Structure 1
Amino acid sequence: MKPGQDDTKDFDEDETVTAGPAWLGPKASEHERVTRSRAGKGLSLRAVLPNAITAAALCSGLTSILFAIGGQWPQSVFAMILAGVLDAMDGRIARLLKAQSRFGAELDSLSDSASFGIAPALVLYLWALVDAPRLGWLAALAYAICCALRLARFNAQIDMEEQPHKSAGYLTGVPAPMGAGFAFMPVYLWLATDAPIFREPLLVGPWIILVAVLMVSNMATPSWKSLTPSGDFKLAFIAVAGLLVGGLLIETWWTLVLIGVVYMALIVWSVSGYAKVKREMRAAATGDGPADEASATPPGARKPLAVDEVDAALSEKRDR
């Protein structure tokens, strides 16, 4: 033990740890790499806040079911949106406090499965699919199961070194919170227009099945890292964020529809961008294009990098 080191910890505050199950914790997004862990020592005091936020997201998502049972559809949607906001906060707060933990990782996945898988399926069934009980229930089951499968796939792959989408700065499939937002698109349109067509089971059922397929698909989808604005666009990004909040306050449902449409366009952009990355990697591997020093080094002779060094190297490579 180093002089002055706290023997109640199995990590150094400012050092990374070897990738493995012990360092998992609540994540800001699925491409994030965690840098420390208590490795089975239990929750630290600083870990209470992010895990409490995760529990709050779970409660908010499940409460949307209660509003749906009472026919309070706007409140049900707001509860789901609040769950998404809280889910986006817990990982960032955990990283800021250096409070990632295995407990937090498991709680986060269970919360996502209930809040963005089971809850939307039940809400949409009560809202529209109940009019076609057999086919509607099958569609709701398909959505809930695919959300759980997506989260299970992510947890199973988190320790794998070879993840092409993550290496290129993208996610694999639509994330669970965005999947829930997509699934509610007919509800947004119905609340905005009051048109009965958007509540038809023959429209809602195939739609949520499509969203379910997108969640478990292997297509590249945008991540926060891939959407980071460059220096020339940071001020414009701030302005757009402000206008977005204003739109949510004034024209809530149309703004949510706009967000969904923009995200669809970003998926197309991500698929195109990842295809370009694959072509460049294939060209470098066959010697038809420029290859950097790392790609020219035999895999067996390459020294493993620390977790944060991998992120820095990937970011630098994308910026070139």
Structure 2
Amino acid sequence: MQSRKGIYLLPNLLTTGGLFSGFFAVVSSMNGQFEAAAVAVFIAMVFDGLDGRVARITNTQSDFGAEYDSMADMVSFGVAPALVVYNWGLAELGKLGWLAAFVYVAGAALRLARFNTQVGIEDKRFFQGLASPAAAGVVSGIVWVGVEYDIHSLSVSYIVALVTCVSGLLMVSNFKYNSFKEVNWNGKVPFVAILVVMLIFVIVATEPALVLFLVFSLYALAGPINTFRTVDKVTLEDVVGDHEEGSDVDCTTVSSDENDSDLK
């Protein structure tokens, strides 16, 4: 019996939710609603984290889903954060402002392209370069903090440009970032762990803009720190460029399974 053609609804519906959130962030920033725009990017992260996991649980992985997820991520974590931060704090810088935003967009595009060519061959414990949702968290977080605490964008425009550029460059770096994929989410934990999770929710709820920005910023800094701690002598290949083992990628080994599309 011939298999029925079509696409899986649930995981692609979640991906569409993330895509919509990214597009909504762009439109909101164009209308001057920067807090809503920044929050929309974080909502897109929730959808991005769910679609791959739902596909695994329901056994609905597909090549279409993997490609659609990458396209949605480019909008939600590449174009959207760049335009949000540009409209809020970079437009006044003129050419320097849009160049900083472009560095971020280009970094996100290169990061996603490199991730897609390394699926199935990379070390599952680490990401090579800062994941695009985490970079989006830093860039959108600084906008959210600025709006929340009434910080005038003109007074911090150069700092915002620097953070945007650095976030884009970290995405295409060779710094190692923990992927947390080795965590066993199905295992049992002590009762106190639930209390810790509740405490984390309370802390985030008190000052969500500041807490989320600090969390993603610390994660972004963790990559260079981990790399410098684990190598005896830092070389150019440890920072940027192609590693020897990744120079000849056999594309036939690349998997399009959405198992590996949780963070890019």
Interval of TM-score (by shorter of Structure 1 and Structure 2): 0.7 to 0.9
Question: For residue 178 of structure 1, what is the aligned residue in structure 2?
Answer: 134
The alpha carbon displacement at 1:222 in A equals 1.2
Question: For residue 260 of structure 2, what is the aligned residue in structure 1?
Answer: none
Question: For residue 160 of structure 2, what is the aligned residue in structure 1?
Answer: 204
AA matched with 1:150? R
Question: For residue 92 of structure 2, what is the aligned residue in structure 1?
Answer: 131
AA matched with 1:152? A
Name whichever of 250-259 and 102-111 sits farther off.
Answer: 250-259
The alpha carbon displacement at 1:252 in A equals 1.6
**Equivalent residues in 2 for 1:266-281, closer than 5 Å:** 266-267=222-223, 270-271=226-227, 275=231
**Equivalent residues in 2 for 1:220-235, closer than 5 Å:** 220-226=176-182, 235=191
Residue pair 2:83, 2:101 contacting (<8 A) in 1 also: yes
The alpha carbon displacement at 1:253 in A equals 1.6
Question: For residue 251 of structure 1, what is the aligned residue in structure 2?
Answer: 207
The alpha carbon displacement at 1:182 in A equals 1.2
Residue pair 1:128, 1:201 contacting (<8 A) in 2 also: yes
Question: For residue 44 of structure 2, what is the aligned residue in structure 1?
Answer: 83
Query: 1:102–1:263: structure 2 CA closer, same or farther, 3 Å change rule?
Result: same
TM-score w.r.t. the length of structure 1 is 0.65
Larger RCO of the pair (alpha carbons < 8 Å, separation 6+) = 2
Residue pair 1:244, 1:255 contacting (<8 A) in 2 also: no
1:239 to 195, 200, 218: 195
Task: Tell me the alpha carbon deviations over residues 176-216 of structure 1, each in whole angstroms, 9 at most, x when there is no partner.
Answer: 11110011242233234323368532111111110001111
Q: Does 1:107 align with 2:84?
A: no
AA matched with 1:80? V
**Equivalent residues in 2 for 1:130-169, closer than 5 Å:** 130-159=91-120, 161=121, 163=122, 165-166=123-124, 169=125
Structure 1 distance, partners of 2:128, 2:193, is: 25
TM-score w.r.t. the length of structure 2 is 0.78
Structure 2 distance, partners of 1:82, 1:170, is: 24
Query: 1:92–1:52: structure 2 CA closer, same or farther, 3 Å change rule?
Result: same
Residue pair 2:137, 2:213 contacting (<8 A) in 1 also: no
Equivalent position SS for 2:12? helix
Task: Tell me the alpha carbon deviations over residues 229-256 of structure 1, each in whole angstroms, 9 at most, x when there is no partner.
Answer: 9x89755543333223223332222221
2:31 to 70, 75, 84: 70
AA matched with 1:256? L
AA matched with 1:51? N
Residue pair 1:220, 1:274 contacting (<8 A) in 2 also: no
Residue pair 1:58, 1:83 contacting (<8 A) in 2 also: yes
Equivalent position SS for 1:221? strand
Equivalent position SS for 1:171? strand
Q: Which runs of 5+ in 2 are unaligned?
A: 233-254, 256-264
Query: 1:232–1:42: structure 2 CA closer, same or farther, 3 Å change rule?
Result: closer
Structure 2 distance, partners of 1:184, 1:274, is: 30
Name which one, 1 or 2, has greater alpha-carbon Rg.
Answer: 1
Task: Tell me the alpha carbon deviations over residues 29-68 of structure 1, each in whole angstroms, 9 at most, x when there is no partner.
Answer: xxxxxxxxxxxx7445xx2100110011001111011111
Q: Does 1:191 align with 2:147?
A: yes
2:80 to 114, 119, 126: 119
AA matched with 2:118? Q
